[in-house]
Amino acid sequence: MRDNSRVTSATREPETQAAPLRPRLIATDLDGTLLRDDKSVSPRTVSALAAAEEAGIEVFFVTGRPARWMDVVSEHVHGHGLAICGNGAAVVDLHGGPGAHRFVKIRELARENALDAVRMLRDAAPGTVYAVEQTYGFHQEPAYPRMHLEVPDDLAPAEEILAPGSRADGEPVLKILAFHPTLDPDAFLTLARLAIGDRATVTRSSPSALLEISGPDVSKASTLALCCAERGISHEEVVAFGDMPNDVEMLTWAGRSYAMGNAHPAALAAASGQTVANNEDGVALVIERMLADLP
């Protein structure tokens, strides 16, 4: 269990630890973490990210969002221009700017696994409805709520969308979205993980009973680890920020990690430190202090 004993007015830091390595990479979630509730990036946060990269620290956005929802931060990426999307299902290059994202790594959910997960969860939680996220496509069942503010490419049962020869057959499946209209969100997550087992990874980032189902062993942490290995960066040199259950593995893996003041209890338990809420620029606060402490 992490030692989170020393508390300051704005952040919680572990009191007893060896001197941390100089950070080489910042990995931050977006919604509920870097972004304010109105989905804006504050000027203070933009300045902190730019200062980190000027100091030679890479910044990775690590989010459950699909690549097509990355326009909100594309203009604030300096240098490398990479983001981990779909809870680790894809790495995209944002250099081209809004609408010109390029996939550089895809960790798809095999259709056989996707169909198994859909059937298993339907049996365990009758009333579950689904949407399917692909690299560029988005498909949903007719009963799935219109919560994503976009027109789906298809309205059909998930089994039909995922069937061989369907219109969606030409693109990789990145994740399945599963919604239940009445179950408690955390109870739904526990039920789904028990029902699906090792056929897929199940997590959640929404306040509603909306689950995100990815390929086995695909998570923000596992894809971040792959990207860091390619750069010769150890987990001790990573500082991570997050607020929801889909951030837990990343917060646990990183050498230093911070849960937001508004975070889910699971994220608070996983992180080695705590900062203030997203609306109070909690990420920027930690980055500013971290840069001030650099030799």
Are 223 and 102 within one domain?
yes
Helix runs in the chain, H state only:
43-54, 71-74, 111-124, 158-161, 185-196, 220-231, 248-253, 265-270, 282-292
Q: Are 253 and 236 in contact (CB under 8 A)?
A: no
Question: What percentage of the chain has pLDDT greater than the value 90?
Answer: 73
Are 184 and 236 within one domain?
no
The residue among 214, 237, 252 that closes a domain is: 214
Mean pLDDT of 179-203: 97
Question: Over 50: is that where the pLDDT of 151 sits?
Answer: yes
The per-residue pLDDT for range 250-284, each reduced to its tens digit, is: 999 999 999 999 999 999 999 999 999 999 999 99
Domain, as residue range, for 197: 111-214
Q: Are 105 and 218 in contact (CB under 8 A)?
A: no
The residue among 171, 199, 214 that closes a domain is: 214
Structural domain count of the chain: 2
Are 27 and 91 within one domain?
yes
Residue 15: predicted pLDDT: 45
Indicate which CATH number applies to the domain containing 155.
Answer: 3.30.1240.10
And the tokens for 4?
């989170």
Q: Are 59 and 92 in contact (CB under 8 A)?
A: no
Alpha-carbon gap, residue 66 to 120, rounded angstroms: 25
Q: Does the predicted model carry a pTM greater than 0.75?
A: yes
The per-residue pLDDT for range 33-76, each reduced to its tens digit, is: 999 999 888 999 989 998 998 999 999 999 998 887 776 666 65
- Domain-located, residue 1: no
Are 53 and 95 within one domain?
yes
Are 118 and 206 within one domain?
yes
The residue among 174, 191, 214 that closes a domain is: 214
Are 61 and 152 within one domain?
no
Residue 5: predicted pLDDT: 34
Q: Which of 172, 143, 170, 174 is nearest to 156 (CA)?
A: 143
Alpha-carbon gap, residue 91 to 66, rounded angstroms: 10
